[in-house]
Structure 1
Amino acid sequence: MPAVFFFLIDVSMNAIQTGATAAACNAINQVISDLPEGPRTMVGIATFDSTIHFYNLKRALQQPLMLIVPDIQDVYTPLETDVIVQLSECRQHLELLLESIPTMFQNSKTAESCFGAAIKAAFLAMKSTGGKLLVFQSVLPSVGIGALSSREAEGRTSISAGERETNKLLQPADKTLKTMAIEFAEYQVCVDLFITSQTYVDIASVSVIPRTTGGQVYYYYPFSALSDPAKLYNDLRWNVTRPQGYEAFMRVRCSQGIQVQEYSGNFCKRIPTDIDLPGIDCDKSILVTLKHDDKMQDGSECAFQCALLYTTVYGQRRIRVTNLSLPCTNMLSNLFRAADLDTQFACFLKQAASEIPTSPLMQVREQVTNLCINILLSYRKFCATVSSSGQLILPEALKLLPLYTLGLIKSPGLRNDGRVDDRSFWINYVSSLPTPSAIPLVYPRMIAIHDLISKEDGSLIPPIIPLSSEHVSDEGIYLLENGEDALVYIGGLASSSTVQQLFGFSSIDEVHSQLVLQQYDNPLSKKFNDVVNEIRRQRCSYLRLKLCKKGDPSGLLFFSYMVEDKTASGPSYVEFLVHIHRQIQMKMS
């Protein structure tokens, strides 16, 4: 299978006016030189509003030729060939076209979007080759195949509107897009979705396509033409350059006595034993639930094998085999000693996310808390040396489990407030999240940046501060990041010279939330840039930066991440530990 990259860009009125179309074209233009070199690399491009516009990129033409597909109920591709061509052949045409698209549509008054029809038409063009379809979308798909209506009744997402209604909004509106996605997966087309919106776009419905085809959803809300183009470019660049493969199949096998119960993640499943991955990359994880249906001998070993067959971007067919052999034990204390908190918590997180669309939030929060209680109860009952019942005893390897459980309960996915799209994105983000990213998502990292210079201790990133408001001083400036977003909080009494050195504002009153990080000519600014760049490197994510200040809604946003404080969305950490301890004591008695 050749490496095919097809770009599909929303050019509806809203996308043009907010600068989303220009940001997408600019990002694609910069990324073209990062696509894999060689004669096998092919590209195609189309734009859409209420109709679909393909472009003939054949070199013989003076300039790219636009071909319009007006029928958005029964779509087709206008040309069998020349819509997807070798990159080496059409590079100049492509660059020219990307520069002119925003101006070509600048006076557009078309507010509609035929998203479903456009991806179907792009798929028809890619059907014979397979490949990556990268879609930039700004508004709710409103016409053509898979059109959606604005289900979110003017943002009424509170519990009073009825749990059942809210749950319905977290599930796809109908089966149209899912049926399409299964067909895409069959022909090895992997779809990535870049959502650059300022309104509701029904992520619950549109995300079905990336989830079924091994792709990913990127979400820039509310899209800002000032601060988001840099993140859009970096996300796109990492998307096409990261280690990845196409047309993959995966199967997990285990030794006798154990069997695979289910797989979960971003893939398509047509037969019980294998999963199909039109695209697989280094940022995806797949959760495999096992069940054991036979007795294991103490001291014997049980084995697991994961085999992944895939094609590289350079067209080599490879198989990657991972083997694991683990000792069986009937000593529960051995199990607790070898527990892997990150992996165990990643499973918790994924299971909770998969429950949210169909269960009341209160129930999911209770399930999560009970899981934590039952694990600690088992340890107390079967492993702990007898001590006074007044003590809360935690296994060494899992001693932070209650803290992360509390973080999960207070996360955007499980809080009662918030927009439907934000929750849908959170659920979707979690479904393929790699294990190292699970804990930062619910318990972000917070560091002080006002004294970066004075506290040189050899490490680039300063010590981590607990997420409690008692550690946030009014004179300080702090950075908080969860692997996806980064908030910079400026205390009400922060020194104006420090604010000036870091952000170039002469006073705190000038601070506005859109932050484009710049390096100013002073040691503090340089150090701060180094720290942010190191975090971006660690996370493989550009991080969307937002400035927050005291006495402002953005300040409330920052404090909503203080997991250890008592908030509207849950108890303080101390109260939570007391609750867990009480439950364990009740179950022991």
Structure 2
Amino acid sequence: MEQLKDEDYLRCNICTCIIKIPKNFLRPEDLEKRPDLNTGSYDIKAGQEYQMRPPMAPAYFFMIDVSSKSEGILSIMGQIIKDMILEDKFNNRTLFGFITYDTSIHLYNFNSKLKSPQMYVLTDDNEMPTREDYMFNLQDSKDIIVAFLNQLDRLFPKPQLKSTQFMSALNLVQKIMQDNGGKLIILTSSPIKELNVAENQKSSQYHFQPTNNILKQVCDKMHLNYICPSIFIVQSGFNNVGTLNQLVKYLNGDMFYYDDPITYSQKFYYDFYAVLRREYTWESVFRIRLSIGWKIKSVYGNYTVKNADLLNVTCTEDQKVLMYELELNQPRAPYDNLYVQTALLYTSTNGERRIRVHNICIPISNSIKTIYSQIDQSCLAISLYKIALSQLNIAKDAKDCIQTKDFLIAATRSISKNCQFYKEPLDFLHSYMLGIMKSQTLNYNYDQQSVLTDHMNYLRSIYQYLNVDELVTYIVPQLYNISDLKEQECVYDDNGYFIYPQSISLVLEEVSNGGLLLMDCGYCLILFICKIHDENQMADIFGQQYQNMNLIEDNLYSNSKNLINDKLYFLIQELRNNKYTKYVPLYIVKQGSKTQWEELFFQNLIYDDFNRHYRMGYNQFVQYIG
């Protein structure tokens, strides 16, 4: 707000309305309790007018595929939930419910008056259950739920390796949850018959886009009930991830995909635990307001439009990103600043209806040179990438990848020419854009039903909500020379902040120099042992018999007295902790081993021309851009 010369009035910087200053604004006796008058960002209790219904209770409903024996998964899931219940990690208002499904659907009654949980097998002749029958307050039914979790992995000893009742189970869950809403946690593995691709439809577009809109139709109901999914997919052939992603896209959900049989159980443990531990904003909606002369052109991310400019982003949390593209539609707008106000209306875990507000003032300039001198190059590149991915999401087939690449090249050339004219170097932008052009998602054909197609569609899904700093590592990996760590690196400073080592260039020359290199590729870490290395140092890190050892992470820290081992351990943990998925696997690779991870390592040396999908080095790319 701007106080006018006549001190009795304020003008809103957003809508320009002029109001008389309320008396309690001038000299409020409780100023220290009025963050809305003291700071640009605040979180306050919402008024009664924002409560259309009583605040919902936190709710977790588990929809579990038991049709295939995913070794250890049910045991891990049951153990994590049980431990968190016994440690009182959930609010005392929390509701719980479970469905398991294979060729049948099984519901569970946890009424506190029962001595043991009751399984109810749903058939076509059964009467549809009500929410009261299958969602229970955790505190009231704690003992009986724990008893169920103790036997979860033993309930289905002979899995039915067939197509499942996924859609029937999902529709049933929607009806059970509709009065309250909450977090829907889905575990799926076997093929979903309703999502299968017919033989006469096996063209590339049916792997690039959703097979059908069955899930989108369910989303139209679920978003009104504030239901948000987290989907855990254990790979078993072609799972049609591109179609399952509709649940993620329209319901502000997230997805976890496991296609490595060696690491998937450990990865699942950390992912599942993180999903249950996150602090969510329940039944939340979001909007932004802009000053006069500006409008919202596009929004990128996972959401559903509730009405006008109001987005449904239920169960959102601090690691997910929405990107807004704004447009100046009145070039002669009367202000030198752009004012933005964001507002998130939500229910807290404790049952309070609250509003979280951020106000920001962004200077406007007519000087192109000033604008380019202030650009965050990584943010600019990722913004262009997200726009390109959104074009792919509405493309008809994989051939549209070519047009998407043309868009990225044209944008890079335009920016580069302006930078040259105004003598503002944007060297890093070329690196980021080269990494984007070499990215897997833009260079895959999507022409087959395969695990690789599912993996690519999984990446396209998570790219929609990952933050800039994390997504950058997927296109321009970070490379560290572990053999040359300094004393002051990979330690925590006096304020508790981690000091990262200086990253090195993504070129073959660094490999030729030898040593031990760690590459952060976003979804995995690669510890690369160059042909030229210090034998004594390798023995210190891996042990004296490292030449004959199975080089896995479990054997990495065998020499705990070695300082470099501690530094490497802390670095790996920090890289993992900063990611949305809390466990990225570490692959230890010897140069010359000719494994898929060695191939990935060399393809990620993006400044050279090793990437077979985009054979262009950095210097060639800069010349090509012009």
Q: Which range, TM-score by smaller chain?
A: 0.7 to 0.9
Contact 2:183 2:229 in 1 (8 A): yes
The structure 2 residue matched to 1:424, chosen from 435, 440, 457, is 457
Local SS of the residue matching 1:106: coil
Contact 1:197 1:221 in 2 (8 A): yes
Q: Aligned pair 1:552/2:568, yes or no?
A: no
For 2:208, the aligned partner's letter is L
Structure 2 partner of 1:569: 613
Q: C-alpha separation between the residues in 2 aligned to 1:293 and 1:365?
A: 28
**Which structure would you say has the larger Rg?**
2
Q: Aligned pair 1:49/2:49, yes or no?
A: no
Change beyond 3 A, Cα 1:519–1:268: farther
For 1:130, the aligned partner's letter is G
Structure 2 partner of 1:7: 62
Compute the displacement of 1:405 (Å). Answer: 0.3
For 1:49, the aligned partner's letter is D
Contact 1:516 1:545 in 2 (8 A): no
Local SS of the residue matching 1:472: helix
Q: C-alpha separation between the residues in 2 aligned to 1:546 and 1:221?
A: 15
Superposition map of 1:283-432 within 5 A = 283-296=319-332, 300-357=336-393, 358=395, 360-381=400-421, 383-384=422-423, 395-396=424-425, 398-416=426-444, 419-432=452-465
Q: Aligned pair 1:171/2:171, yes or no?
A: no
Deviations along 1:23-58, one digit per CA (max 9) or x if unpaired, are 433443344457754321111122111111111112
Compute the displacement of 1:367 (Å). Answer: 1.6
Change beyond 3 A, Cα 1:491–1:380: closer
Structure 1 partner of 2:250: 212
Q: C-alpha separation between the residues in 2 aligned to 1:518 and 1:58?
A: 48
Which 5+ residue runs of structure 1 have no aligned equivalent? Answer: 154-160, 385-394, 582-589
Q: C-alpha separation between the residues in 2 aligned to 1:562 and 1:517?
A: 24
Q: C-alpha separation between the residues in 2 aligned to 1:505 and 1:178?
A: 57
Change beyond 3 A, Cα 1:408–1:93: same
For 1:559, the aligned partner's letter is F
Compute the displacement of 1:313 (Å). Answer: 1.7
Local SS of the residue matching 1:108: coil
Superposition map of 1:110-125 within 5 A = 110-125=161-176
Compute the displacement of 1:190 (Å). Answer: 0.5
For 1:446, the aligned partner's letter is L
Compute the displacement of 1:458 (Å). Answer: 4.1
Q: Between the two proteins, what is the percent identity of the paired residues?
A: 22
Compute the displacement of 1:552 (Å). Answer: 2.0
Structure 1 partner of 2:565: 525
Compute the displacement of 1:578 (Å). Answer: 1.6
Q: C-alpha separation between the residues in 2 aligned to 1:341 and 1:34?
A: 44
Structure 2 partner of 1:435: 468
Structure 1 partner of 2:153: 102
Structure 2 partner of 1:471: 510
Compute the displacement of 1:12 (Å). Answer: 0.9
Structure 1 partner of 2:82: 29
For 1:522, the aligned partner's letter is K
Change beyond 3 A, Cα 1:10–1:335: same
Structure 1 partner of 2:583: 542
Q: Aligned pair 1:148/2:192, yes or no?
A: no
Change beyond 3 A, Cα 1:492–1:434: same
Change beyond 3 A, Cα 1:459–1:505: closer
| Number of positions where the alignment pairs a residue of Structure 1 with one of Structure 2 | 548
For 2:248, the aligned partner's letter is P
Q: C-alpha separation between the residues in 2 aligned to 1:205 and 1:140?
A: 12
Q: Aligned pair 1:578/2:623, yes or no?
A: yes
For 1:62, the aligned partner's letter is K
Q: C-alpha separation between the residues in 2 aligned to 1:53 and 1:516?
A: 42
Q: C-alpha separation between the residues in 1 aligned to 2:441 and 2:75?
A: 32
The structure 2 residue matched to 1:130, chosen from 173, 181, 201, is 181
Q: C-alpha separation between the residues in 2 aligned to 1:351 and 1:242?
A: 28
Please, what TM-score do these two structures have when normalized by structure 2?
0.81
Structure 2 partner of 1:584: none
Change beyond 3 A, Cα 1:268–1:111: same
Compute the displacement of 1:272 (Å). Answer: 3.0
Q: C-alpha separation between the residues in 2 aligned to 1:518 and 1:42?
A: 42
Contact 1:152 1:200 in 2 (8 A): no
Structure 1 partner of 2:18: none
For 1:213, the aligned partner's letter is L
Change beyond 3 A, Cα 1:289–1:516: farther
Which 5+ residue runs of structure 2 have no aligned equivalent? Answer: 1-55, 447-451, 492-499
Q: C-alpha separation between the residues in 2 aligned to 1:317 and 1:152?
A: 51
Q: C-alpha separation between the residues in 1 aligned to 2:199 and 2:553?
A: 29
Change beyond 3 A, Cα 1:520–1:96: farther
Compute the displacement of 1:493 (Å). Answer: 5.2
Change beyond 3 A, Cα 1:412–1:248: same
Please, what TM-score do these two structures have when normalized by structure 1?
0.86
The structure 2 residue matched to 1:193, chosen from 231, 235, 260, is 231
Change beyond 3 A, Cα 1:122–1:445: same
Contact 1:67 1:78 in 2 (8 A): no
Contact 1:50 1:110 in 2 (8 A): no
Q: C-alpha separation between the residues in 1 aligned to 2:403 and 2:350?
A: 48
Deviations along 1:81-123, one digit per CA (max 9) or x if unpaired, are 2422122233333333223222221222332222222222222
Deviations along 1:153-182, one digit per CA (max 9) or x if unpaired, are 9xxxxxxx9xxx333312111111001012
